[in-house]
Amino acid sequence: MTVTVPDRLPPAERVSRWANDHRKWLFSSPAIIFTVLLIAFPIGWTIYLSFTDSFGSVRAPFDFVGFDNYVTALTDTARFWPAVLRTVIFTVAALAFELAAGMSIALLLWRPFKAQAIVRVIVLLPFVATPVAIAMMWRLIFDPNIGFANQVLGWIGIPPQAWFSSPATTLPTLIFVDVWEFTPMIAIVLLAGLTSLSDEPDEAARIDGANAWQRFWFVTLPLLRPVVLVAIMLRAIDALKTFDLLYAVKGQGGGSFHEAETLNIYAYTLSFQYNSFGLASAVLILFFLMVLISMWLLTLRRKEKP
């Protein structure tokens, strides 16, 4: 027996049926609208400003100048390319140390032991505080006159260091602070991956006579590789866009000699110190493209792995 549906339904019934047929779009539309308003629109406006000579105020009249801002940025060997180099050095160095330290901590916390919960809480403490608070704390510790770091060096006969005051030591010290703060993040991600691994491959390698290093390098690490790549991707994105730590320590321009001026600091200085919004927008778009390309390469690397 077939059931016939009347051609003319009450308006409320038609609306109800339409909503049921399109429910996936109705439920997801608030998130889509929110994403468009808070992400797509600012990016689109920044792209638009990057093709103009906007200066002084975003409300001031400006003209369309094409790719002039991009040419100016890409040919700037005094500020732009040194900022690119510092951004790469900061990201790669911080990520390398954090990955090595995070893996070591994760391996130490992997197997159960007494007071394991307390140790995990202690390891997570640096990650709890905000980057600005961390920066102010380490500024006091590394203060060349009253800082505790130079006092410790004096106890062992090493002369005081400039730390954040010298162009030669500023970036390495900032990398150290970033490693101290964000290593727990890598450790927690890797620890979650380690706890999800099966014990059977490790036990089989142990029975075959493999030592601890061989079991880690040839068994544990290959199994953990997808988690490692995810941790690298997440932390690389975060390290590339580091701003609060650098600004809290060195301020606009990244210091008197721009020794801590990454692309984020450079774009901020162009916007809020020089009021060159067109050029700053071009720098931000170039930086955005660099991040996208880096993430694309990491994604390809992840897909190549079994």
| CA distances, 160 to each of 14, 152, 157, 168, 294 (Å) | 79, 9, 9, 14, 39
If asked whether residues 29 and 172 sit together in one domain, one would say no
pLDDT(70) > 90: yes
Calculate the average pLDDT of the chain. 87
Asked if 205 contacts 145 with a C-beta cutoff of 8 angstroms, the reply is no
The alpha carbon of residue 106 and the mean position of all alpha carbons in its chain are separated, in whole angstroms, by 20
pLDDT tens track for 19-63: 777 777 888 888 888 888 888 888 999 999 999 999 987 678 889
What's the average model confidence in pLDDT over 188-198?
A: 90
Percent of the chain with pLDDT over 90: 47
Residue from 207, 234, 230, 220 nearest 110 by CA: 220
pLDDT at residue 281 in the model: 94
Read off the pTM: 0.85
Does 189 lie in the same domain as 44? Answer: no
pLDDT at 7: 55
The predicted model gives 259-265 an average pLDDT of: 93
User: Does the residue 274 lie in any domain?
Assistant: yes
In this structure, the answer to whether residues 141 and 286 fall within a common structural domain is yes
In a shared domain, residues 27 and 91: no
Task: Write down the pLDDT at residue 136.
Answer: 92
Residue 201: the pLDDT is 86
43 and 104 both lie in a single domain: no
Overall average pLDDT of the 212-237 stretch = 90
Same-domain pairing of 46 and 194: no
What would the two tokens of residue 222 be? Answer: 């290959």
State the total domains in the chain.
2
- The phi and psi torsions of 77 (rounded to 5 degrees) equal -90, -5
Supply the pLDDT for residue 301.
66
Q: Provide the pLDDT for residue 3.
A: 46
pLDDT for 150 beyond 50: yes
pLDDT of residue 57: 78
End-to-end CA distance of the chain: 54
Same domain, 214 and 286: yes
The answer to whether residue 62 sits within a structural domain is no
pLDDT of residue 303: 62
User: Do 38 and 85 fall within a single domain?
Assistant: no
Do 112 and 258 lie in a common domain? yes
Evaluate if residue 95 carries a pLDDT over 70. yes
Task: Give dist(CA 306, CA 297) in Å, integer.
Answer: 16
The verdict on 117 and 232 lying in the same domain is yes
28 and 127 share a domain? no
Task: Judge if 156 and 256 occupy the same domain.
Answer: yes
Q: Which domain holds residue 34?
A: 11-50
Residue 297 belongs to a domain with what CATH number?
1.10.3720.10
Is it the case that residue 190 has pLDDT exceeding 70?
A: yes
Whether residue 190 lies inside any domain: the answer is yes
Q: Residue 1: what pLDDT? A: 45
Q: Has residue 55 been placed in a domain?
A: no
In a domain, 176, yes or no: yes
